[in-house]
Structure 1
Amino acid sequence: MATEKEYRELFDRVAALRREVAGKLSNELGSDPRLGDAVLKQLDDMLFAVETEQRTSPAPADGGLGQLVGIGDGAARELGQTRMPPGVDVYDETVASERVIAVGDLYYLYQHERIGVFRVVQKLQELFQRGAIRLSDGPGAFGLYRFDRRDVLRYTRRDRISAYRRVLGYGRGLGSANARPNTDFHQLFVQFTNQVALFWRDKRISDVIRERAYDPSFGSVAVVRRSGLDLRNNLKFTSYGHLNVLRVEVMQLLTEAFQILGAEDVLDLFGATNAWDTVDEVLIRYFDERLVTSPRQRMAVTGRAVLRWLAAPHILETTRSEFETLLLEIAEPAEEWITSAQSLRVADRSTSPRVLPADRHRPAGVAVPERVVRRNGHRKGPVGTLT
C-alpha cells in the first residue's frame, strides 16, 4: 500500500530519471530516434509494474478512510501518510476480442448478403421446384433439396437483416428484438480506415524525401489509435447477444450455398467456370441487376481483416516502431477497402478534420430534429440507409 507521499515521490523520481537519461543520450537520440522509443518504453514498463503492484496489494478494511479523517490508532498526522490508490483498470483494455472477431465475420456476411448470394440460391430453388431448369439428380440438385429441407432449422433472412441493423447499423427499421441500431458504426469504420491509409501515405512520402527511410514517419500514431479505439468501443455493447451463434450458422450457410453454386451440374447449366460466375449469371439473367460483386467481395475480405486486427491488443501499443510494424498488417487492406467503397459511393477519402466529434449528429448549440417519413398519414421513425 503506497502513501500519498510515496505516490508523489515516485513520479518525481521517474521524471528525474527521464531527464537524466535524455541528457546522457542526447547525441545518440538525434541520430537514432528509435533509441528514444526503446528507453521510454522501458521506463513506462517500470512505472506500470510499480502501479500494478500497488493496485493488487491488500488495502485496509476501511479503504484508508480512517487514516484520512483521523479516526483510530492508524490516524495519519499529515496528508502524506494517507493511503493513495493508483487508479482503476484502463477502460480501453476491457474489450473482449472474440466479440470483435464476431463482428468482423458478420460484416463479411453482410457484404455477401448485399451481393445477392442467398437470393441466387433461393432463385435456383424456385426454378428447381418448378422444373424450369435442367437439374434432376446431380450434386447441385441434391444440394438444393437439402438446402430447402434445412430452412426451418436456420435463422431466417429477417433475423439476419435485424442483426445487421443492430450491430452494423445497415438497413432500415429497428435491430434484433427492437434494439437500438448502431448507426455510428459505418462513420467510425470509414474514419479508422481513412486514418490507417493516411498514416501509411504519410510514411511513404517521408521514406522518399528523407535520407534514412527506416526512421519513424511523421504520420500521427495518436490519431490512428484514437480512431481505432472509438470504433472498438462502439462495438463493445452491440456485439452481445446471439451474434456469435448467428454468424457461425450463417457462415455455414454461406459455405453450403457456394458448394451448390459450384456444383458441376449447376456450372454446366449456366456455362460457368466457378461459383462466382454462377452468381453473376443468375443476377443478370433473373434479377437484371448491375453487378457489384467484385468491390463488395473485396470490401468483405478487407473489412473483416481490419476488424480482426482491432480485436487484438495491437491498438494499445505505445512504442511507435512496434505500432508501425503491427499496423503494417492492415495498411493495404485499408487502402483497398476505401477504394472499393469509393467505387460504390459509400465512403470517401478523408478531406475533413482528422477527429470526429463525439456527438456527430447534433452540432454544438443547434437542435437538429430527427428526419421522419409519413406513410398513409402515419408518422414513422427516423429513416435509415442501407450502406
Structure 2
Amino acid sequence: MATEKQYRELFDRVAALRRQVAGNLTNELGSDPHVGEAILKQIDDMLFAVEAEEQSQPRPADGGLAQLVGLGGESAGDLGATRMPHGIETYDETVASERIIAVGDLYYLYQHERIGVFRVVQKMQELFQRGAIRLSDGPGAFGLYRFDRRDVLRYTKRDRISAYRRVLGYGRGLGSGNSRPNTDFHRLFIQFNNQVALFWRDKRISDVIRERAHDMAFGSMAVVRRSGLDLRNNLKFTSYGHLNVLRVEVMQLLEECFHILDAEDVRDLFGAANAWDVVDEVLIRYFDERLVTSPRQRMAVTGRNVLRWLAAPHILETTRSEFEALLLEIAEPAEEWITSAQSLRLADRTGSKQLLPWDRQKPVGVAAPSRADRPMSRIRVNGHRR
C-alpha cells in the first residue's frame, strides 16, 4: 500500500531519472531522436509496472478513510502517511474488440446491400419461379430453390436495414427495436480516415524534403489517436444486442448468394465470366441502375480493414516509431476508402488537422451522403418530428 509521501517521491525520482538520462545522452539525442524515445518508453514501462503492482495490493476495508481522518489505532500522523491510490482503469481500454470487429463486418455487408447483391438474387429467384429464364436443373437452379426454402429461417431485409440504421446510422427511420440511430458514425469515420491519410501524406513529404529520414515526421499522433478513439467510443454502445448473430448469418447469406451467381448455368445465362458480371448485368437489365459496384466494393473491403484495426489496441500506442509501424497497416486502406467515397460524393478529402467538436452536427468541408447513406438527425415518431 503506497502512502502519499511514497506516491510523491516516486514521481520526483522518475523526473530526476528522465533529466539525468537526457543530460547524459545529449549528443546521441541530437543525432538520432529515436534513442531518447526508446529510453523514455522504458522508463514509462517501469513506472507502469510499479503502478500495476501497487494496484494489485489489497486495499483496506474502508479504503484508507479512517487513516486519513484520524480514527483508530492506524490513524496517520501526517498527510504523507495516508494511503494514496494511483487511479482507476483507463476508459479507452475497456472497448471489447469482438464488437468492433462485428461492426466492421456489418459495414462490409451494408456496402454489398447498397450494391444490390441481395436484390439481384431475389430478382433471379422471381424470374426462376415465373419460368422467365432458362434454368431448370443446374447448380444455379438448385441453389435458387434452396435459397427460397431457407428464407423463413433468416433475418429479413427489414431486420438488416434496421440494424444498419441502429449501428451505422445509414438509411431512414428508427433503428432495430425502435432504437436511436447512430447518426454520428459517418462523419467520425470520414474524420478518422482523413486523419490517417493526412498523417502519411505528411510523413512522405517530410521524408522527401529533409536530409535525415529517421527524424520525427510532421504528422500528429494526437489528432489521429483522438479521431480513432472518438470513432471507437461511438461504436462501443451501438455494437451490443443481436449484431454478432445477425452479421454471422448475413455473411453466410452473402456467401450463398455468390455461390448461386457464380454457378455455371447462371453465368452462361448472361454470358458472364464471374459472379460480379452477373450482378452488373442484372442491375442494368432489370433495374436500369447506374453501376457503383467497384467503388462500393472497395469501400466495403477497405472500410472493414480500418474498423478491424481499431478493434486492436494499436490506437493506444504512445511510442511514435511503434505507432507509425502499426498505423502503416491501414495507411493505404484509409486513402483508398476516401478516394472511393469521394467518387460517390459521400466524403471529401481534407488537409485540416482540426478535430470534430462533440456538439457539431456536420464537419466543415465534408460532402453530404446520399439519401440512403445520410444519417438523419431527426426522426418521425407517431407523426411528430424529434
Q: TM-score, normalised by structure 1?
A: 0.94
Mapping of 1:298-337 within 5 angstroms? 298-337=298-337
Would the aligned equivalents of 2:5 and 2:80 in 1 still touch at CA under 8 Å? yes
Mapping of 1:64-75 within 5 angstroms? 64-75=64-75
The amino acid of 2:314's aligned partner reads: H
Give the CA deviation at 1:371: 7.2
Give the 3 Å change call, closer, same or farther, for CA 94–34 of structure 1 in structure 2. Answer: same
C-alpha separation in 1, matches of 2:21 and 2:175: 55
**Partner in structure 1 of residue 132 of structure 2:** 132
The worse-fitting range, judged by mean Cα deviation, of 353-362 and 262-271 is 353-362
Give the 3 Å change call, closer, same or farther, for CA 159–373 of structure 1 in structure 2. Answer: closer
**Partner in structure 1 of residue 81 of structure 2:** 81
C-alpha separation in 2, matches of 1:97 and 1:323: 18
The amino acid of 1:132's aligned partner reads: A
Mapping of 1:98-137 within 5 angstroms? 98-137=98-137
Would the aligned equivalents of 1:372 and 1:379 in 2 still touch at CA under 8 Å? no
**Partner in structure 2 of residue 204 of structure 1:** 204
**Partner in structure 2 of residue 45 of structure 1:** 45
Give the CA deviation at 1:352: 4.8
Would the aligned equivalents of 1:166 and 1:176 in 2 still touch at CA under 8 Å? yes
C-alpha separation in 1, matches of 2:212 and 2:25: 20
C-alpha separation in 2, matches of 1:373 and 1:319: 44
**Partner in structure 1 of residue 23 of structure 2:** 23
C-alpha separation in 2, matches of 1:40 and 1:371: 45
SS of the residue corresponding to residue 150 of structure 2 reads helix
Would the aligned equivalents of 2:198 and 2:351 in 1 still touch at CA under 8 Å? no
Would the aligned equivalents of 1:108 and 1:300 in 2 still touch at CA under 8 Å? yes
Mapping of 1:220-259 within 5 angstroms? 220-259=220-259
**Partner in structure 2 of residue 366 of structure 1:** none
The amino acid of 2:186's aligned partner reads: H
The worse-fitting range, judged by mean Cα deviation, of 299-308 and 346-355 is 346-355
**Partner in structure 2 of residue 272 of structure 1:** 272
Give the 3 Å change call, closer, same or farther, for CA 373–35 of structure 1 in structure 2. Answer: closer
The amino acid of 2:307's aligned partner reads: L
C-alpha separation in 2, matches of 1:178 and 1:86: 42
Quote the sequence identity (%). Answer: 82
C-alpha separation in 2, matches of 1:374 and 1:181: 12
Give the CA deviation at 1:125: 0.4
Q: TM-score, normalised by structure 2?
A: 0.94
Structure 1: gaps of 5 or more residues: 364-369, 383-387
Structure 2: gaps of 5 or more residues: 364-375
Name the Cα RMSD after superposition.
Answer: 1.7
Give the CA deviation at 1:163: 0.4
**Partner in structure 1 of residue 2 of structure 2:** 2
The amino acid of 1:252's aligned partner reads: Q
C-alpha separation in 2, matches of 1:271 and 1:246: 34
Give the CA deviation at 1:50: 0.7
Q: Name the count of aligned residue pairs.
A: 374
C-alpha separation in 1, matches of 2:362 and 2:210: 43
C-alpha separation in 2, matches of 1:247 and 1:238: 14
C-alpha separation in 1, matches of 2:353 and 2:335: 19
Deviations 1:147-206 (A, max 9, x none): 000000000000000000010010111111011111111111100000000000000000
C-alpha separation in 2, matches of 1:307 and 1:207: 28
